[in-house]
Structure 1
Amino acid sequence: MALASDKQANEENELLLSLPKERGLGAGPYLHLFQDFWCPSFYFPGVNNFQKHFHAKDSDVFVASFPKSGTTWLKALTFVIVNHQRFSSFDHHPLLSSNPHELVSFPEFILSHDFDDQILSLSNMTEPRLLATHLPFPSLPKSIAKSNCKIIYICRNPFDTFVSAWEFFTKKSSVSSHALTFEEAFEKYCNGIMGFGPWWSHMLGYWNESITRPNKVLFLKYEDLKEDAVFHVKRMVEFLDIPITQGEETTAVIENIINLCRFEKMKDLEVNKSGEIDNIAEKKNFFRKGKIGDWINYFSPSMIEKLSKIIEEKLSGSGLSFKLHS
């Protein structure tokens, strides 16, 4: 077994060395262009293992997102909905004592290490299994696309996504010595060079799939969820076909779910004030501001003009658009 894993590691290393690489926002100093997306070198073995060895079940639920688009919030909401029967008491809910990233794992991250143990724990998870991914839709394991599992995707205004990514990744000790300036990082982002980018193809992959297969992919925007949480959480409940309650009580339960997962509430929990997630990032860094339109405090007029043109060009004709909150 050791020889086989050594052989695989060598093959992965050779493949990684053959791929184009760039500096950009993401885990570690380098991103490698793999299957038309920029994969952080740190996660390359996990992505490879996920694609080759993960077997989806029809009951699986995936939370998918481009990094820094509302992933933490969507993980929390989906965890509460999916596990509503198991954890019906909100006074002693796991979300009050665990970070959402501890409750909902990324297979492409955890399969980067302790492969045998992690693949076993994934296969032994209580069903329905709730997992997360940052992979673009075309790079998901084939079994996910072929199965009847459900995917909830969240995206965010590209302006706020960049600011959130810049703040998050420049705080990470593992990349701080290789940090790009704000202007350098912005140029990379405009060229799609960020972990799991380009951001436009990431969004469009799930957007197009949600139109083609609305029973497979539910597409959400962070801004819409912030502006009318009750409506969109109801959409999530209906999409997942999870029995919450009947009749008039449904809205009250949904409001309780939203309250449990409120940004301010999660940020104030002791469990989210200290400690790290998988030695990758401090828990507190997952809760910065959660505001819409904070980008206006960072961008110069020329930056606004440049990114606006890219958004218009890349999303043109797709039906996907964003309101600029400024």
Structure 2
Amino acid sequence: YSAEWLEINSEEIKRLIAKLEASGLDNEFIHLQGLKYKYDFYNQLLFGPANAMMFAHMNIELPEHYYDFAQSMTFTDSAIVQIPKWFTVMLGVFERGEKEGWIEVSLEHYMEIYAKRIENEKVRSLFLVKLLDHVLQKGYSDDFPVYIESVRPFITHATALEELPSLEARYRASREAHKTILRGEMAPEFKAVDINGKEYSSADFKGKIQVLDFWFTGCIPCRAEMPYMEKLADDMQGENIVFIAMSVDTGDELMALWREMVKDKRGAELQLNLPGGFKSDLVKKYLIHGVPRIVIVDKEGKIVDANAKRPSDLKLRMLLERLI
């Protein structure tokens, strides 16, 4: 991901597209295949460095202006919705824009902010529908009604409009299934232990905002999010808030791995293990079927969000700052 690598691969994309255009193949195929080359490369640019650091343990220092390409992307070609990775790339561009300060960060209206940056009606409409679907796939969200109402005026293409009723029906079903952990419900109490066997309970944190980060040692996405959560905890140290990394590891082998992973951590985040793991009452009460899962509890012990955004998303920090 060096400047030299960027130049070599940018030239290779140009070479492939020139070869396509000289091939004599069908023009529509040439156009779509050219877009596929570009979006595969954009996907690599956006997510490659983090994946390399996560899976290959590479220490990567990106060149200055590495993400500048994302700032100028406009999504005006409706053909992009026919190629793989188009939605992933678009979402990645907008989220990168939030991190770089090119795009306003908003808890309730981020979808509307994204929508206003997409000029093409078809692309805008289909992107928003897929974004709403993305929210539902990630788990129950108390904010879904706010999201859908904020973008409804921007969903104007017939194909996308047909998808809205099914999305709304899925939300209603999800709300009913999660009715015991909706925003404002009392949070379930818990007991968990640290690496030395000292027991903590939710009562120990009465009057504090609690950020519970459920994870286990074999979860790659969990481990990828760890540095972001640890930084949040360190940045907010001294505030009326506690960050708890709640391991759901069980069994001698995984518990030994957990102890090895957390023994040298010296940050503000409290490292605990939940006895019973995925079979514990707490996991069942929060209806946790997969991790990472972030739960936020307010000072009164009421649920703020039982399926909060991940710490790599700036909107989680914004929510916590609002609660403090």
TM bucket by the smaller chain?
under 0.3
TM-score (norm 1): 0.26
Higher Cα Rg, which structure = 2
